């Protein structure tokens, strides 16, 4: 039976059909749906949201050591977090088959950089597989697990946004039950003491040589000989783009097993064609290695290494001609109203950022999440954002620098609840341990908001839908050594103002926890009990409105101005922040 699946759905299906046992991940675009879809196979596969990518990788590594076929999934920047265990696990080798997904985001649709994680495979001396569509995403997972077990190697399964989110037809198969391998204690293999690692490094180099032989004969690497004037070496989604541009007017070496590269195949293919192009997204990962072998080819001299590729870019770069693969796109662009990114109407973070916007002489270090939009106008309440969990420690460093220079400037670090569990906790330990004097604001909206409402350790539910212990953030913060802790409703501006003022006056590490559910969240029974769900809408009384526009400083997209302020009743959710800002009580609850 065939079914239309995204690449992420197909990866989950492939792991199921391959007899997979354990899967772990931290959500992050474009990888999130892999584990969301794995949940449907929970009768056969244990799956979990881990607090961060390093933990997810270690959970999967532990399962592999125990003999289970295991998988870890993450977006590309998540692999930076998980690099520590995987670089060593490459030395140790596997027991049960082990695959980890790196979902890269060319074009930075939802990321802070667009790094090319193919280099991780070469750097870490691991096997790498790259599918070009959903069918291959499903099929290649099976081969990756087989290769992992046969060659005793972790496999980096690299996909990009277009493969993750595009849908193509996939032939479904039945699950093949694969018994967990027996676990046998073997410290020489699984205990990475220096004496063991020195031996394992030699073994790893030998393994890479055998993997290159496999690569030259792998069914994942295929040649399509057509017209020989143009030959194209490509991989991943770039293959699909190249086919759209050149069709059968060129020959192709499509590489699905991309580390180690199949150099015998590459050399043979290069001899067959007149002009050789290497078409790959982002960095010249293959091109550099091919040129280093003395093989003449053309790549990044013409094809950009910034942003997402598409057929139009390739046609213009290599053929010098304009094509339009998506008709009507120009008109579509013209018809879309340009709008700056903004927090949702009713977002519980708006009150906090509005309060922060009124405080002078303060640096606000931010983090990764919806709340990063606190930097936008008119709130303008965030100075920095580097990486997941980084706000607290960068704020600590800045505060120490200000103090050392004798500058009287306070620092507020803001971080979401899921991000706090991710890596923020360690940073708060650093602030406490090193006698920091910053204010940390934990924005607890009761869910992992930006990636689509995944559960986290604070919500009380697991990925598989089981009720579990909800980690109590105030108790956790207290256990980390913070003495000054306040919990506020961020929709109450007076309460939020007072909490920030008190925290900034406190001499030592201070934490403010803003606690209110994401406006888009489906309330759990616990949410209904704690917060209720009856928020009335608001409207502007034009007889009282003085046209001062102060309410617009909240940045709420439900507000507009035309002689008087207006509230879109379809967008208003009754958070009341604008009503609290209005000095003339011109914004009133509907029905009162």
Q: Which residues are documented as binding site?
A: 545, 548, 551, 556, 572, 575, 578, 582
User: Is residue 12 within 8 Å of residue 44, measured between CB atoms?
Assistant: no
Contact 555, 377 (CB under 8 A): yes
Structure tokens at 305: 């290494």
- The whole-angstrom separation of Cα 479 and Cα 463 is 26
**Six token digits for residue 584:** 């003339």
Give the residue among 165, 123, 143, 147 at the shortest CA–CA distance from 37: 165
Strand order in the sheet with 275-279: 221-224, 251-255, 230-234, 275-279
For residue 30, cis peptide bond before it (omega within 30 degrees of 0): yes
**Encoding tokens for residue 172?**
């479904």
CB count, 10 Å around CB of 227? 14
Show the DSSP H helices in 218-325 as ranges.
Answer: 237-246, 263-272, 285-292, 311-319
Radius of gyration over every alpha carbon of the chain, rounded to an integer in angstroms: 27
Using the structure block, give the residue that is written with the tokens 């559960």.
455
Give the pairing of strands 98-104 and 46-49.
unpaired
417 vs 55: CA distance, rounded Å: 17
Helices (H), 104-171: 118-124, 134-151, 161-165
User: 434 is written with which tokens?
Assistant: 């090193």
d(CA 354, CA 513): 16
SS3 539: strand
Q: What are the binding residues for [4Fe-4S] cluster?
A: 545, 548, 551, 556, 572, 575, 578, 582
CB 30 within 8 A of CB 103: yes
Handedness of CA 20, 462, 350, 387 (dihedral sign): negative
Element housing 438 (H / E): none
Non-local CB neighbours of 100 within 8 Å, separated by 6+ positions: 57, 60, 71, 72, 73, 74, 79, 82, 86, 154, 155, 156, 157
Burial (CB count within 10 angstroms: exposed 0-12, middle 13-18, buried 19+), residue 188: exposed
Tokens encoding 364: 């606000």
Give the span between the Cα atoms of 67 and 20, in whole angstroms. Answer: 11
Rounded to 5°, angle at Cα 157 from 155 and 160: 160
Helical pair 237-246 and 311-319, crossing angle rounded to 10 deg: 60
Residue position matching structure tokens 């399962």: 63
> Count of CB atoms within 10 A of residue 107's CB?
18
């Amino acid at each position: 039976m065939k079914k239309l699946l995204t690449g992420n759905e197909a990866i989950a299906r492939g792991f199921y059909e391959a007899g997979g046992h354990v899967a772990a991940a931290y959500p992050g675009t474009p990888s999130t749906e892999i584990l969301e879809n794995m949940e449907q196979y929970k009768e056969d596969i244990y799956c979990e949201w881990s607090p961060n990518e390093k933990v997810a990788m270690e959970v999967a590594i532990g399962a592999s050591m125990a003999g289970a076929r295991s998988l870890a999934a993450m977006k590309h920047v998540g692999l930076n977090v998980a690099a520590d265990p995987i670089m060593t696990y490459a030395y140790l080798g596997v027991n049960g088959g082990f695959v980890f997904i790196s979902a890269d985001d060319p074009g930075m649709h939802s990321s802070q950089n667009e790094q090319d994680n193919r280099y991780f495979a070469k750097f870490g001396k691991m096997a790498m597989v790259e599918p070009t569509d959903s069918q291959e995403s499903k099929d290649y997972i099976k081969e990756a697990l087989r290769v992992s077990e046969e060659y005793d190697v972790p496999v980096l399964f690299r996909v990009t946004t277009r493969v993750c989110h595009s849908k193509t037809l996939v032939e479904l198969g039945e699950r093949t039950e694969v018994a967990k391998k027996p676990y046998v204690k073997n410290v020489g293999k699984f205990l990475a003491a220096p004496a063991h690692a020195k031996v394992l490094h030699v073994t790893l180099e030998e393994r890479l040589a055998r993997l290159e032989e496999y690569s030259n004969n792998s069914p994942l690497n295929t040649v399509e000989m057509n017209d020989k004037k143009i030959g194209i070496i490509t991989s991943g989604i770039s293959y699909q783009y190249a086919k759209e541009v050149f069709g059968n007017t060129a020959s192709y070496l499509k590489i699905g097993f991309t580390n180690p590269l199949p150099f015998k195949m590459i050399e043979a293919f290069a001899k067959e064609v007149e002009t050789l192009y290497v078409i790959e997204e982002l960095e010249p990962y293959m091109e550099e290695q091919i040129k280093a072998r003395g093989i003449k080819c053309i790549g990044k001299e013409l094809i950009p290494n910034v942003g997402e590729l598409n057929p139009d870019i390739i046609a213009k770069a290599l053929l010098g001609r304009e094509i339009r693969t998506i008709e009507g796109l120009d008109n579509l662009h013209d018809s879309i109203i340009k709008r700056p990114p903004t927090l949702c109407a009713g977002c519980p973070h708006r009150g906090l950022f509005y309060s922060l916007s009124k405080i002078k002489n303060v640096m606000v270090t931010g983090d990764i999440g919806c709340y990063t939009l606190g930097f936008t106008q008119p709130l303008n309440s965030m100075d920095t954002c580097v990486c997941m969990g980084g706000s607290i420690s960068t704020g600590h460093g800045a505060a120490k620098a200000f103090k050392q220079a004798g500058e009287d400037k306070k620092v507020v670090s803001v971080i979401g609840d899921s991000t706090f569990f991710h890596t923020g906790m360690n940073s708060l330990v650093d602030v406490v341990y090193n006698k920091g004097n910053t204010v940390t604001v934990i924005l607890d909206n009761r869910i992992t908001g930006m990636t689509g409402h995944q559960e986290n350790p604070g919500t009380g539910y697991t990925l598989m839908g089981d009720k579990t212990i909800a980690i109590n953030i105030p108790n956790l913060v207290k256990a980390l050594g913070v003495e000054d802790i306040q919990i506020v409703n961020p929709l109450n501006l007076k309460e939020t103002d007072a909490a920030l003022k008190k925290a900034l006056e406190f001499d030592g590490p201070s934490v403010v926890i803003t606690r209110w559910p994401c406006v888009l969240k489906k309330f759990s029974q616990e949410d209904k009990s704690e917060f209720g769900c009856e928020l009335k809408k608001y409207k502007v009384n034009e007889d009282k409105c003085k046209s001062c526009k102060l309410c617009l400083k909240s940045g709420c997209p439900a507000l507009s101005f035309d002689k008087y302020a207006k509230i879109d009743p379809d967008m208003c959710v009754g958070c009341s922040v604008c009503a609290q800002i209005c000095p003339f009580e011109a914004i009133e609850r509907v029905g009162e």
